Amino acid sequence: MRNNVSIGLLGLGVVGSGVIKLIEDHQEELVHQLGCGVNVKSVLVRNLEKARDVQVDQAYLTTDPNDVLHNPEVDVVVEVMGGIEEARKHILEAFATKKHVVTANKDLIALHGPELQDAASKNQCDLFYEASVAGGIPILRGLSDGLVSDRIQQVMGIVNGTTNYILTKMNQEGVTYESALEEAQQLGFAEADPTADVEGLDAARKMAILARLAFSTDVELSDVEVNGISNLALADLQYGKKLGYTMKLIGYAHCQNHNVEVSVQPTFLSNQHPLSSVKNEYNAVYVNGEAVGETMFYGAGAGSLPTATAIMSDVVTVITNMRLGVNGRRFVSPRFRKELTPPEQRFGQHYIRMHVKDEVGAFAAISDLFNQMDISFERILQTPRTKNELAEVVLVTHRTALLNFKESMDKLNNLDVVESVESTFRVEGDAEK
């Protein structure tokens, strides 16, 4: 083993700068851990003249990806450029030249993870992507190493810091969605175009990766049901407070008898649930295993150094594998054929807010409909009569099959005494439920 292992970086933005900073600042720790140094040999950038947050030898900067991918001195390629097709092309090229790859690219892994893993294995290369989910939280390593002997039954979490910041502001300060989003943008927690975050797309990509790993099956991004937070009404959050709930955008993955369901949706959590106390831009993933029971991973879900820390943990693993001569051997193909859980086998509680005609027999008609669907209520709230003679009614059901709930919503919307169903949300009780 030579005295130094060389890294090639594809991209030098916020995260790439963090990687260089960690390599420079933690060189002694890396040498102690690995028995060799780690150095950056080549860095792909778009603009050679751009001012940077870190000092990099100008001789190492390049605008030609071949200077990284075909550099015989580069052992490990770290992809932090983002995007999908160009990054995919570069990673496949890296494997073809027998270079190991570490990436933080959740979009790419969610869409093309199995293809890239197959290419890595065929070329006896490593592919690691810890930083693609939840920043500096070691959740993927926790699932693949720490809980590898267990059967994971459920993974649910807050995996998008932008939406969690927005919802924290709405919950705690009573501000509107628009005001909370504007503040998140001013602080740099939300992009100028926040669509991927607030519509749940970012979280869906991460949940596809988590479910694929947790349940050893080929979950695809298209399998994830997605609803975002952009249409949330402050009234629902206020009712949630009265009922003892906190609103979060929750990624949910459940496996039973090898049937899998994966979703991202605004969810009312009981204030007793561990995830309800996760605030601002922080992430947390709650895992339930058959043997280990309940565990939770919590920490910074983004940022230069937290994400760079996850990348460097993968780099250290690659170099350790190099020393042992076992690169490309860690990948385990999916064990189970994917089966999506049908609606009649998906159970949960639901929150419903509706406007109802304030007249005798109205609630009796609603109760009769739910009784026919075999759905009972855990909580009921009703506001006084309004000027337009409509009452606002909030219901929380007991656990029921999703199929029954959807059918009941169709019938409820057609009920004469119901003016409108304003909102429905999933409800998760305390951690023991």
Distance CA 6, CA 72 (A): 10
Distance CA 49, CA 45 (A): 10
Q: Are residues 169 and 251 in the same domain?
A: yes
Looking at residue 431, its pLDDT comes to: 45
φ/ψ of 279, rounded to 5, equals -120, 165
Looking at residue 387, its pLDDT comes to: 64
CATH number for the domain spanning 59: value is 3.40.50.720
Looking at residue 429, its pLDDT comes to: 83
Please tell me the total count of domains within the chain: 3
Looking at residue 308, its pLDDT comes to: 95
206 is known as an active-site residue: yes
Looking at residue 334, its pLDDT comes to: 76
In a domain, 167, yes or no: yes
Q: Are residues 44 and 152 in the same domain?
A: no
In a domain, 175, yes or no: yes
Q: Are residues 263 and 348 in the same domain?
A: no
Distance CA 179, CA 234 (A): 11
Looking at residue 165, its pLDDT comes to: 96
Looking at residue 433, its pLDDT comes to: 41
In a domain, 129, yes or no: yes
Q: Are residues 264 and 355 in the same domain?
A: no
Q: Are residues 201 and 282 in the same domain?
A: yes
Q: Are residues 221 and 152 in the same domain?
A: yes
Q: Are residues 77 and 169 in the same domain?
A: no
Q: Are residues 67 and 92 in the same domain?
A: yes
In a domain, 47, yes or no: yes
Q: What is the pLDDT along the chain (433 residues), one digit of tens a residue?
A: 568 999 999 999 999 999 999 999 999 999 999 999 999 999 999 999 888 888 888 889 999 999 999 999 999 999 999 999 999 999 999 999 999 999 999 999 999 999 999 999 999 999 999 999 998 899 999 999 999 899 999 999 999 999 999 999 999 999 999 999 999 999 888 899 999 999 999 999 999 999 999 999 999 999 999 999 999 999 999 999 999 999 999 999 999 988 999 999 999 999 999 999 999 999 999 999 999 999 999 998 888 899 999 999 999 999 999 999 999 887 777 788 889 999 999 999 999 999 999 888 888 999 999 999 999 999 999 887 666 778 899 999 999 999 999 999 999 999 999 999 999 999 998 644 4
In a domain, 316, yes or no: yes
Looking at residue 189, its pLDDT comes to: 87
CATH number for the domain spanning 271: value is 3.30.360.10
Q: Are residues 380 and 272 in the same domain?
A: no
> Residue 41's domain spans which residues?
4-135+304-324
In a domain, 336, yes or no: no
Looking at residue 375, its pLDDT comes to: 95
Q: How far is CA 368 from CA 254, 375, 415, in A?
A: 32, 10, 11
In a domain, 141, yes or no: no
Q: Are residues 158 and 295 in the same domain?
A: yes
Contact 180, 82 (CB under 8 A): no
CB atoms closer than 10 angstroms to residue 97: 16
Looking at residue 88, its pLDDT comes to: 98
In a domain, 50, yes or no: yes
Closest CA to 284 of 222, 206, 191: 206
Q: Are residues 400 and 309 in the same domain?
A: no
CATH number for the domain spanning 355: value is 3.30.70.260
Residue ending a domain, choose from 300, 335, 355: 300
Q: Are residues 404 and 363 in the same domain?
A: yes
List 99, 106, 206, 248, catalytic entry: 206
Distance CA 167, CA 143 (A): 28
Write the CB contacts of 182 (distance below 8 Å, at least 6 apart in sequence): none
Looking at residue 359, its pLDDT comes to: 85
